Amino acid sequence: MVPLKNDRFLRALMGESVDVTPVWMMRQAGRYLPEYRATREKAGDFMSLCQSPELACEVTLQPLRRYAFDAAILFSDILTIPDAMGLGLYFSTGEGPRFRKTVRNQQDVAALPIPDMGSDLKYVTDAVSLIRRELNGSVPLIGFSGSPWTLATYMIEGSGSKDFRHAKALMYNQPEVMHALLDKLASAVTVYLNAQIEAGAQAVQIFDTWGGILTTPAYEAFSLSYMRKIISGLHKESEGRPVPVIVFTKNGGLWLESIAASGANCVGLDWTIEIGQARARIGDKVSLQGNMDPAILYSSPASIRAEVARILESFGSGNGHVFNLGHGITPHVDPDNVSAFVDAVHELSASYHR
């Protein structure tokens, strides 16, 4: 493998010194970019885009041609695992993800196969290898997965949900069935992330998008404990470097201390928490990623710059900050505003790293 030219993202995740604060964006490849929309048009549908290593590689690289991001993220989706378990994922226009089959009882859970990396999900590891080759050491590549709890919500509901009625009913009525499902998912996610690491992912992020809908004890029992289990089973090193793990629980601000103690190297923050307060609560034990409100990108370059300055000031001097949005970029953002964002992070952060 060629040596990494820009490793500030990996260094910041490990709490090491950097020249400027590294930055990337959740959903950095996506519909706000006209070139993404063109490639997606060519692919036909979203899953064909994910399943073609060449096209997945192309859209992964698109944002890096425009912006000075310090990391690339594999273009794929968290729902590839339930799809590989036979649930039949599809995307109907304007409605988000849907499954042909749902998982609602003990029999459904027992019938779920553990996906095979060598066949069912080979398109993901093939994409990782190809992206690494094309990146040619310019920036590191992030692999990812959904958390078991977040994957379970989609598998049980059969789609996105506002109230998570079926998932929560199953959790409260038959916790043992929910645990059996989460346990299976934790095994699948561990194998999946390790396969991405073996194929060349240099850091991994676990997206726990729906952990924040749980009560405090339910978050511990049904979400965090399975993420902890996954982290303990991940390869700690690859290519002679640590492979840092980022845990992002949306709306997880109440539980920062326990997330920081999960074994993760970095806690992803949404925009509702003040990053300086998060740092004061968990100290320098782990690094922090975040946390600008993605909606700021609808404003002007001047307001974006001011908000970047405010967040850098709130975090303060020292190591362990990866700049990001507090959740994914949305489709209606003007691509020029993203340049203003990325450039502001690099320009304004230098004085915090002297």
Q: Please list the active-site residues.
A: 27, 31, 40, 77, 154
Altogether, the residues listed in the chain come to a count of 354
Written as one string, the DSSP assignment of 62-116 is: HHHHHS--S-EE----TTHHHIIIII-EEEETTTEEEESS---SHHHHHHPPPPP
Whether residue 136 is preceded by a cis peptide bond, meaning omega within 30 degrees of 0, is no
CA 107, chain centre distance (Å) = 31
Residue nearest to ligand CP3 (CB): 209
Nearer to ligand CP3 by Cβ, of 253 and 279: the residue is 253
Q: CB of 103: closest distance to ligand CP3 in angstroms?
A: 16
Nearer to ligand CP3 by Cβ, of 9 and 207: the residue is 207
Q: CB of 5: closest distance to ligand CP3 in angstroms?
A: 21
Nearer to ligand CP3 by Cβ, of 15 and 160: the residue is 160
Nearer to ligand CP3 by Cβ, of 144 and 341: the residue is 144
**Is 28 labelled as part of a ligand binding site?**
yes
**Is 27 labelled as part of a ligand binding site?**
yes
Coil, strand or helix: which one is 145? strand
24, 71 Cβ separation under 8 angstroms: yes
**Is 7 labelled as part of a ligand binding site?**
no
- State the Cα–Cα distance between residues 245 and 237, nearest whole angstrom: 11
Q: CB of 350: closest distance to ligand CP3 in angstroms?
A: 26
> Can you give the binding site for ligand CP3, defined by CB under 6 A?
26-31, 40, 46, 73, 75, 77-79, 96-97, 144, 160, 207, 209, 328
Q: CB of 303: closest distance to ligand CP3 in angstroms?
A: 24
Nearer to ligand CP3 by Cβ, of 322 and 348: the residue is 322
Written as one string, the DSSP assignment of 252-299 is: -GGGHHHHHTTT-SEEE--TTS-HHHHHHHHTTSSEEEEEE-GGGGGS
Whether the CA torsion 330, 334, 339, 344 is positive or negative: it is negative
**Is 327 labelled as part of a ligand binding site?**
yes
Q: CB of 56: closest distance to ligand CP3 in angstroms?
A: 9
H helix and E strand count, the chain: 16, 11
Nearest to 153 by CA among 118, 135, 132, 178: 178
- How many Cβ atoms from other residues are within 10 Å of residue 160's Cβ? 14
**Is 209 labelled as part of a ligand binding site?**
yes
Q: CB of 28: closest distance to ligand CP3 in angstroms?
A: 5
Which helix (H) or strand (E) element contains residue 238? strand 237-238
Determine how β-strand 89-92 pairs with β-strand 96-99. antiparallel
Nearer to ligand CP3 by Cβ, of 39 and 349: the residue is 39
**Is 125 labelled as part of a ligand binding site?**
no
**Is 154 labelled as part of a ligand binding site?**
yes
Binding residues: 27-31, 77, 154, 209, 327
Binding residues for substrate: 27-31, 77, 154, 209, 327
